[in-house]
Amino acid sequence: MTRPRNDTLLRALLREPVEYTPLWLMRQAGRYLPEYCETRKRAGSFMALCKSPQLACEVTLQPLARYDLDAAILFSDILTVPDAMGLGLYFAEGEGPKFERPLRDEWEIRNLAAPDPHDELRYVIDAVAEIRRALDGSVPLIGFSGSPYTLACYMIEGGASDDFRRIKTMLYDRPDLLHHVLGVTAQAVTAYLNAQIGAGAQAVQIFDTWGGSLSHAAYREFSLAYMQEIIAGLTRTHDGERIPVIVFTKGGGLWLEDIAASGCDAVGLDWTIDIGQARARVGKRVALQGNLDPSILFAGPDVVAIEARKVLHSFGPGSGHVFNLGHGISQFTPPEIVTALVETVRVESRSFHGPQSPA
Ligand code: CP3
């Protein structure tokens, strides 16, 4: 049994009692931190940083050195999986991620194969093991992957997209082809997350950044179904401990009950939904993670404290809440404001827990 000394996050994800509401931030290691920019410069590029287990470990720990956070998240990117499938990931300056060989022809799609995570993604698995050693039992390490639909968006569009024209054309014209891409990608993600768990990830999050761009019916068929398949294939107990699974669909508030029934332990919420109303809808089925608008971190410390308090009050007393932003922290966030957020949540959330508050 190897629970970390601070296991507040794991307890909250499993809806066990906690003393305060745990907090971590999506993209907590990133460009808003000068020390991250310095390490990235030393690495030469973002991909070189991802591919060096030692440097990936270094940046993973940077936000924990600054702030009293309750978890580390593996430093990597969701697009390492399609890169390992042979699509050739690169980052064009100021343009975001791109693929040299996006999936365009049927034969390319039919040839797609799930990579062996211990081979093509060895650098990620090594980073997980190195980070666990460096954390030395302090806080849990979260592993992650993109959802098959979100990965397919990049694989088929070839990069970021405003309208998802190519993937949506395929979805409606050739659903068989898209299902093939999603099926292979789901196998790849399952093996990849299980390898992260084997190497020491103590919770995992599936980032479904673009599921929310789908119609209600297409969301279930092309995004949720594959996340459900992944969850069913995951190692749920490792080293005698349950490995909680978090599903984050940006824009998924409308489908909360279905996401909660996917087999996950926790649902990540963006800021468009009231977390108290979300709690009323899911009841005791899952924990909830979220959901401060990341743009609030552009305001002053008093506003940040007021808004963080509103999220805590809206969720209300009892366990099952992991405080987070509703999406990744912006690169333009002043690092000092994060201190105000972390301190507010740490201090003020105590009154929502303890013997006097209902579970
Ligand atoms: O949360 C963490 O701290 C872990 C690290 C992490 C990164 N990307 C590091 C990163 C995680 C969990 C991701 C996930 C990711 N990557 C998602 C899903 C989550 C989300 O934000 O919706 C997506 C869609 C990607 C794809 C991707 N990678 C994009 C759109 C970008 C930004 C491109 C840009 O230039 O703005 C990246 C690059 C990236 N991934 C950065 C970081 C810190 C910035 C790259 C840099 O340092 O230049």
User: What is the distance between the alpha carbons of residues 176 and 171, in angstroms, rounded to a whole number?
Assistant: 8
Closest approach atom of ligand 1 to CA 79: 26
Scanning the structure block, which residue is given the tokens 């349950």? Answer: 242
Cβ atoms of 78 and 50 closer than 8 Å: no
The catalytic residue among 7, 15, 20, 27 is 27
Q: What is the pLDDT tens value at each position of the chain, 359 positions in all?
A: 589 999 999 999 999 999 999 999 999 999 999 999 999 999 999 999 999 999 999 999 999 999 999 999 999 999 999 999 999 999 987 789 999 999 999 999 999 999 999 999 999 999 999 999 999 999 999 999 999 999 999 999 999 999 999 999 999 999 999 999 999 999 999 999 999 999 999 999 999 999 999 999 999 999 999 999 999 999 999 999 999 999 999 999 999 999 999 999 999 999 999 999 999 999 999 999 999 999 999 999 999 999 999 999 999 999 999 999 999 999 999 999 999 999 999 999 999 998 755 55
With a 6 Å cutoff on the Cβ, whether 167 touches ligand 1 is no
Mean pLDDT over each residue of the chain, to the nearest integer: 97
Q: What is the pLDDT of residues 3-56, one digit of tens each?
A: 999 999 999 999 999 999 999 999 999 999 999 999 999 999 999 999 999 999
| Tens-digit pLDDT profile for residues 275-301 | 999 999 999 999 999 999 999 999 999
- Shortest-distance atom of ligand 1 to CA 50: 9
279 belongs to the catalytic site: no
Helical H segments across the chain, by residue range: 8-13, 34-43, 46-51, 53-66, 80-82, 106-110, 122-135, 148-157, 165-173, 175-199, 216-218, 225-233, 256-260, 275-282, 301-315, 335-348
Residue in 9, 25, 27, 330 to alter for ligand 1 test, most ligand atoms within 8 A of Cβ: 27
228 annotated as ligand-binding? no
pLDDT at position 332 is: 98
Q: Is 77 annotated as a binding residue?
A: yes
Q: Return the biggest CA–CA distance within the chain.
A: 62
The domains of the chain are located at: 8-352
- 28 within ligand 1 shell (Cβ under 6 A): yes
User: Which CATH code fits 8-352?
Assistant: 3.20.20.210
Q: How many residues does the structure list for the chain?
A: 359
Using a 6 Å cutoff on CB, does residue 52 contact ligand 1? no
Whole-angstrom distance, CA of residue 334 vs CA of residue 283:
36
Ligand 1 centre to CA of 77 (Å) is 6
pLDDT of residue 358: 52
Residue 159 has a CB neighbour count (10 Å cut-off) of: 17
Which pLDDT score, from 0 to 100, does residue 354 have?
Answer: 82
Q: CA torsion 94→95→99→101, rounded to 10°?
A: -120
Catalytic residue among 77, 258, 274, 293: 77
Angle between helices 122-135 and 53-66 (to 10 degrees): 40
Angle among Cα 179, 184, 186 to the nearest 5 degrees reads 90
Tokens matching residue 64: 């924990």
11: annotated active-site residue = no
Q: What is the pTM of this model?
A: 0.97
**Phi/psi of residue 206, each to 5°?**
-100, 120
Q: Is 27 assigned a catalytic role?
A: yes
**Closest C-alpha to ligand 1, atom 48:** 46
27 in a labelled binding site: yes
Q: Which two tokens stand for residue 234?
A: 């995951």
Q: What per-residue confidence (pLDDT) applies to 94?
A: 79
pLDDT at res. 120: 95
Task: Identify whether 154 is a catalytic site residue.
Answer: yes
Q: Is 97 in the pocket of ligand 1 (CB under 6 A)?
A: yes
Closest C-alpha to ligand 1, atom 43 = 30
Instruction: Given the residues 31, 66, 101, 166, select the one marked as catalytic.
Output: 31
**Catalytic status, residue 173:** no
Question: Given this model, what pLDDT does residue 93 score?
Answer: 79
Distance, CA of 99 to CA of 87 (rounded, Å) = 6
Residue 29 counted as an annotated binding residue: yes
The pLDDT value given to residue 110? 97
Which residues, other chains included, contact 291 with Cβ-Cβ below 8 Å and sequence gap of 6+? 268, 269, 270, 271, 273, 275, 311, 324, 325, 326
